[in-house]
Every structure is written in structure tokens, then in C-alpha cells.
A and B are shown apart, each in its own frame.
Chain A
Amino acid sequence: MRRFEYHEPGTLAEASDLLTGLGEGTFLLAGGTDLLVEIRERLRRVHHLVNIKRITDLDAVTLDGEGLRFGALVTAGTLERHPEVARLYPNLWAGLRSLGSIQVRNRATVVGNICRASPSADTIPPLVADGAEIETWAPNGGRRIALADFFTGPGRSVLAPGEIATGIRVPPPATGSGRAYIKHGRRRAMELATVGVAVSLETADGRCTAARIALGAVGPTVLRAPGAEAILTGSRLEAGIVAAAAEQAMLECTPISNVRSSANYRRDMVGVLTRRAVTLALEAAA
């Protein structure tokens, strides 16, 4: 492996100082399942690694009336094995379960998967559709940012220099709500998403009162589909409405062609998967 200096700060303040003080080529290490690969494949020039695993209080998972909260060091495997996460957030669970392999998930952190800001990250669409927020620490005070507003491009986010993501908050599932995430890839295991679609619905008296659709791997970041959401909201989610929303989602995505798929195929799959995910979310809401 290419050489780098390794640092193990004990507090967020120390980690933040290292990040800003050591200059270019300084990166945070949480799970490391992407970063160490990028170093080895020489995709990223790293001079300093700042491992945050010795910092306390970043590994908690809480699930209560406030919803789900997990810290920056919580691995995908830990959340995947949490029985209540699987029951209450089957969309997030599906995303977790299709991330890498069991071995990778035992190291990879969910917050790391998010901060890596890949448009095809499996954990992002379900969290965006559920209205999750990311919490940060910064020398002048942290903030809470809606995950939908966190990404600015592939690999880029609104995090300021020295600002550190410390955890994720997901609202509690409302009564009459349902959620689903469907990932489409060429194979079932060890695969990056060709397209991923997450839909979270809230319903009352047979009507959709709120809808959020998040599309993965069809744009520079995970995208919302506000036009499609507007078609669903207020409707009784009849087949014709769902089909119209799926068509609209196809117009709202901006896929590219790459080694995994052509843009046209991705757009078509957005239509198919949006329809299926709405149907699954609706079944779960019933």
C-alpha cells in the first residue's frame, strides 16, 4: 500500500484540527472499505489518514419516539442485524443488505457510505426518501442538514473544511406510512447499483398525503423527483396515477451511460422501479 502518516485523535476537536492543519491529502478514516481501496488503486493521493475510531460516543444506535439515530462509527452490519431496523425501516435495511459483502459491511460505516457521496450508494436513497438529516460537528458549532440537501456532486457535499459528520437521524415511521427501496444491478451480490429507487409514502383514509421519491445512480447525486411526488400527493394512488408518476420520474432523472449501463436503459428502469417501489410502499402502508 502507498505510504501515509496515520493519526488517531481522541476527540472531534483534535480530528478537526488535524484535518485542517495537515493540509492537502488529509482524509478521515471511519470504516475504510472505500478509502483503503482508493489508496491501493491510486485513485486518491493520501498523505495523512485521520482515524476517528478512538473517538467515543460515535458508535451509538438509538431507536425511540424520535425515530432512529446512529453515529458515524456504526457499521452497515450492525444496523443490518438490528431487528427493529429491519422491521421499521425495511427500505434502509434493503439498502444496507446490498452494500458490498458481509465482511465489507462489518467494517463499512453508513455515515462513511453517505459522506463518500457516490450517486450509486445504496444507503442514500432510502434515507433521503425518509427525510433523514445528517448531524455535523464543527469548531464553531455543528448543524443538522437535510440529507436531500447534503450532496453537491459526485464525491462532494456541503461539509466545510474541518467539519465532521457525526451521525444520522431518521424520523419515526408515521402511522399509515410505507417505504421501499429497490436496487437494480447485474448480479445480486457485491454489486454497485445500476439504478436504485426509494419511495416513502404517507397515507390517510386511502389518500396519499405525502410522497418522497429518491433516485440513485441516475444523476450526479441521489435525486428527488418532485414532479412525480406531486402527482402522487393527494391522489388515491390508482394504477393510472402511479404509472403517470413513474413516467414523470423518468423525465426528472439525468442518467449517464457508463460501463454498468446505458443512459436509456437507466431511464427505462427508473420508470419500472418507481412503479414497483410505489406499489410496495403502498402495500406496506396498508
Chain B
Amino acid sequence: MKTLVTLTVNGEERSLAVEGYRSLLDTLREEAGLTGTKKGCDVGDCGACTVIVDGEPVNACLMLAVEAAGRDVRTVEGMQAGPDALHPLQEAFMEHGASQCGFCTPGILLMAQSLLERNPDPSDEEIRFGLSGNICRCTGYTKIFDAIRTAARRMAAPPADASGLEAAE
């Protein structure tokens, strides 16, 4: 039996008809058409499916869609401020080559965003701890950590003028 589930996805209210046994991950990808959220393992091990629910990162594969009723869900598609404006984390990931095959990237970007919201100036150890639930098979993580440090620096810099931003590098 399908239930109509109303939730907010990236600031937009959506009503989706779902079966009680469907995961939030499958529902986002197949019903909401948001394929940015990836399915790596489907059992909570890899972090590729990370989304932010009511401000907290969770594995979308370990949550039923019906449980998201009335909640606020953010996916990687919601990170950009506009169609041409990338999030500073996305910019930094591109510059550092922190994404290779890209499969882990949406989950890692959201995890990094959530980390920086809580802790704008994380230590290396805190970055590692923050990403300990996300697996990347390609990059060896070093470039990911570099990108997060760069983005953290830029996000902390006052948004004054562009030259100030360069000087902060």
C-alpha cells in the first residue's frame, strides 16, 4: 500500500507516494528524480548516500521514506546557491582534484558541509573523524582533506572584496 509522504527537499515541498518498505535513498533517486545521492552499499557502510535530515547527516539507505514525512531533507543538489554558483566546497574539490570517479563526492561534500557548520576551523584529526563514515576508493583522501581545508579558509574569510579573498589563500 502506498502512502503519500510530504517532506521538504532542498527547500521545496514535495509529496511522494511511497511503499512503506522503500528507503529514503531509493525514493530520492527514483521518485524525486534526485540522482545526486549515490547508492554504494545500501547497508550503511560507505556514506555515499549521505543526506542531511533536520540538520543532521544520515545514511539515506538506512532510513525509510515514510520516516521522512514532515522533515527537512537536504541533498547535494541543494548545495549550490544558484545554477551558476558552486558552493565553496564544490569549488575547492574541483581545484584540488578531490573527486575522481565522483561516486563518493556527494556524500563527502555534505558531510564536509555539516562538519564546517558545526566547526568552521577543524583540525586535521577532526576532518578525518568527520569523514570516518565515508569511503573513497579513488583519491586516497589527501586531496579531499586539502580541499576541505581550503574551503574552510575561504568560508571563514570576510566576504569583502575579491583581492582580500586571494590574500587569505
Contact = CB atoms under 8 A, between A and B. Distances in A.
Contacts of B19: 3
Contact of B20 (A41, A49, A104, A107): A49
B20 A103 contact: no
Contact of A40 (B42, B50, B67, B134): B42
Interface string A1-18: 111111010000000000
Nearest to A77: B56
Nearest to B43: A37
B132 interface: yes
A251 interface: no
A102 to B, nearest CB: 5
B130 A40 contact: no
Contacts of A100: 44, 133
A102 B67 CA distance: 19
B133 A101 contact: yes
A233 interface: no
A33 interface: yes
B20 A33 contact: no
B137 interface: no
Given A4-B20, A5-B20, A36-B62, A103 B133 contact: yes
Q: Is the interface of A mostly helix, strand, loop or mixed?
A: loop
A286 to B, nearest CB: 27
A176 interface: no
A32 B63 contact: yes
B99 interface: no
Contact of A107 (B43, B45, B58): B58
B43 A41 contact: yes
Contacts of B58: 103, 106-107
A116 interface: no
Contacts of A2: 21
Chain B CB within 10 A, most for which of A3, A40, A49 = A40
A189 interface: yes
A190 interface: yes
Interface string A92-133: 000000001111101100000000000000000000000000
Given A53-B67, A189-B133, A107 B59 contact: yes
Top 3 A-B pairs ranked by shortest CB distance?
A101-B133, A6-B20, A189-B132
Interface of A: 1-6, 8, 29, 32-33, 36-37, 40-41, 49, 51, 53, 77, 100-104, 106-107, 188-190
Given A49-B20, A102-B111, 4 more contacts: A3-B21, A32-B64, A33-B62, A101-B47
